[in-house]
């Protein structure tokens, strides 16, 4: 029963190979086995969104997937956003606008915002609310989070401009 399965994951650009029990959740493998503690576990039934990561470029709940299912997939956690050492513009925006408070929901919020801003660089307030509706903030700091995402859109646009010749 306690068989272990060999899997390969690409996390934040780096390859990993490990053996896991099939019942290990992707969230636990990322957090405990690989040390990406930015993956937070709140409810473990898909409601709170704190464990959100990108799997092959799309948002998923890492508490609702077994790690064996992610075999061969590419994963982005919040740690992958500042792999170069500098804070990502979305992270800077959350600091500037105080969008973090206790910080527990922040990684999920930031990744949901990241995916939204990829699709819609200048989202309306309503679009931001809809995109982040699946991420709960227990400090109820939603107004600051909304402002943070709006600020992030501005910072990303500026970064884009400075990169252009």
Partner 1 sequence: MKPAPFRYVRPQTREEGLEALARYGEDAKVLAGGQSLVPLMNLRLARPKVLVDINRIPALGILERRDGELVLGALVRHRQLEGDPRVWEACPILSRAAACIGYPAIRNRGTVGGSLAHADPAAELGCVLLATGAVVVLESSRGRREVRIEDLFVGPYTTCIRPDELLVEVRIPAWREGTRWGFAEFTRHEGGFALALAACVVHLDGEGKVTSARVAVGGVSPLPVRLPEAEKSLRGAGLSKEGIAQAAACALSLEDYDDVHAPAWHRRQLGRWLLLQALQQAAGGGS
Between 68 and 155, CB nearer to partner 1: 68
Task: Give 5: exposed, middle or buried? Use CB within 10 Å, 0-12, 13-18, 19+.
Answer: middle
Per CB under 8 A, which of residues 6..25 are in contact with partner 1?
21-23, 25
Which two three-digit tokens encode residue 95? 């600091």
CA-to-CA separations, 29 to 66, 84, 87, 109, 155, in angstroms, rounded: 9, 23, 25, 21, 33
74 belongs to the binding site for partner 1 (CB under 8 A): no
Asked if 16 contacts 34 with a C-beta cutoff of 8 angstroms, the reply is yes
Residues present in the chain in total: 165
Per CB under 8 A, which of residues 79..138 are in contact with partner 1?
112, 115, 129-131, 133-134
5 belongs to the binding site for partner 1 (CB under 8 A): yes
Among positions 2, 17, 163, 164, the unique one binding partner 1 when judged by CB under 8 A: 2
Binding site for partner 1 (CB under 8 A): 1-3, 5, 21-23, 25, 28, 44-46, 49, 52, 55, 58-61, 63-66, 68-69, 112, 115, 129-131, 133-134
């Amino acid at each position: 029963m306690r068989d272990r399965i060999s899997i390969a994951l690409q996390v934040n650009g780096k390859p990993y190979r490990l053996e896991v029990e099939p019942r290990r959740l992707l969230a636990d493998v990322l957090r405990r086995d690989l040390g990406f503690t930015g993956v937070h576990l709140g409810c473990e039934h898909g409601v709170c969104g704190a464990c959100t990561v990108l799997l092959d470029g799309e948002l998923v709940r890492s508490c609702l997937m077994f790690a064996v299912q992610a075999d061969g997939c590419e994963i982005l956690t919040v740690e992958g956003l500042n792999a170069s050492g500098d804070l990502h513009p979305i992270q800077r925006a959350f600091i500037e606008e105080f969008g973090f408070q206790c910080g527990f929901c922040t990684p999920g919020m930031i990744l949901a915002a990241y995916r939204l801003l990829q699709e819609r660089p200048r989202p309306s307030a309503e679009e931001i609310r809809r995109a982040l509706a699946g991420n709960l903030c227990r400090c109820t700091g939603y107004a600051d989070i909304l402002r943070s995402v709006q600020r992030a859109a501005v910072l990303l646009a500026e970064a884009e401009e400075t990169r252009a010749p």
